[in-house]
Chain A
Amino acid sequence: MLRPFELAEPASVGEASALLARHGEAARLYAGGTELLLAMKEGLVHYDYLVNVKTIPGLGGLRRDGDGTLRIGAAATHRAVERDPVVREHFTALARMEADVANVRVRTVGTLGGNLCFAEPHADPGALLQVFDATVRLERAGRARTLPLEALFVGPFETCLEGDELLTEIAVPPLPPRSAAAYLKFGFLERPSVGVAVAVTVADGHFADARVAVGSVGPVPRRMREAEAVLREKAIAESPAALEEAGRLAARAADAVTDLHGSAEYKEHLVAVLLRRAFRQALASLGVREPS
């Protein structure tokens, strides 16, 4: 049962920032509430003020820039991303991932921005967006900054947002030509236990680029740069061995924790398995057959 709180509905980002500044830790941004309200109902957290970002004009939409970058407003719901024709065509892996977040009711109400800012460790979007090199725009009264998404996540339920700052936009650049992304998750509870995202660019029979991110396993979703380095410039003919090595490195770097979802050891193992499978899926979508 929710305890009483005051609702603030600012008309601009500046006004929202000022409200956050004024009420400090007694206030929290409210973007969909699918995570926040659960925590408040359970009594884990309480805020005297919820600041609704969804009524701020201009934060809801999705658009694609001239350079192909996808710009997702902070108030865009998972459903909006999942069903957007542009996303489905140009960011297929993102649309697929979004279509598999929680259940349809959560996706109807929950926002992608809210999901990222809540920083629940067992979540899908954080990992996949990182392999797109997504950035987030953080704004406060009179100032804005753009950070790589990776920098947003500080710890479980903890972001780098300043007290009076709000996320206003997620920018997802397009992958280079001859690239594909894939996200695979595994688990048997309501939330994912392990999520592995990859993006691969193929040129002349080798990996021109390879990106890997792992989510749900450790405290925060993370890019796995050592694993990427092993793959980059490798010939696809050598990929089985390289993927095995990359899997090992990603597993070690994933900072796995033991919890109800499973042991750290098992999750590390799954990271390697999913990494291999995700690459295979991405390559297949490019029409590239990985040697077995």
Chain B
Amino acid sequence: MTTVVKAPGESAAERNGGSGRSGERGNGGSEGLVLHVFSHGFLAVWAVLIVLPLIWLALGSFKTDVQIGGSALSWPSNWHFDAFGRAWTKGIGSYFANTLIVMVFSVPLTMLFGSMAAYVLARYPFPGNRFIYYFFVSGAMFPVFLALVPLFFMVRRLDMLNTYQGLILVYVAYSMPFTVFFMHSFFRTLPTAVHEAAVIDGASDTRIFFQVMLPMARPGLISVGIFNILGQWNQYILPSVLMQPQTGGDPERFMLTQGLIQLQYQMGYETDLPVLFAGVTIAMIPMLVVYLSFQRQIQAGLTSATLK
């Protein structure tokens, strides 16, 4: 089993060679052919199972409510685009903005604090270094539900319930274990010679970190950054505890994930499902764009994070 993915041309050439010699190979060749058809079949079925519900949902945004309630397999009769506009004004627009506001601060802060801690722990031996490292990394093992009740009261005591800054700090804190773990292993791989050269040139430790090490760690930062973006964008449990309207007012600081669930209740009540489907489609698009632009880094980052 050569697991190397070959260029299409190359593999086609090799297949021709293989089938030409199938007589020699005896049943190996025919077994291969059957398996080939068989495996393509299964793979295609699963791909359809992934894509079909998503496309079906997106198509629903163009239907009318009656059509959605009718046959699931119907094609939109006229293409109504107005559900998107209604979804946006029904709250998706502001939920989207809320999520962006939080992430504009939380993702850079996560990356900054996570890299700072990881860098010091990876490259400066001092008493208690291992202890602090495990202190950070062990957080990944505990279920978040263990902390929820006291976390809620902690944030309330700091008067930061239902505020952006409260959620930002909590996101940063809960992203630490993964960020420190990943960046720690990354900083360890960077050559010491560059560091020494910078010291000889008279650069301070802080300056070396910001001007030498951090730029060198860019591939790692990108990988961890994408994972943090996905993780914080998709977070549901933390905001649903910390961003509830405390005075019974409007859910004006809901995150997008909360907002979608809110919209689901609302639209079930108002029977305007195209708006819900349009809202979900709007929420899906940025993730689809991020994923397709960075899928190489995501798959590579995932592999190096979990296989080592």
A and B associate in one complex: no
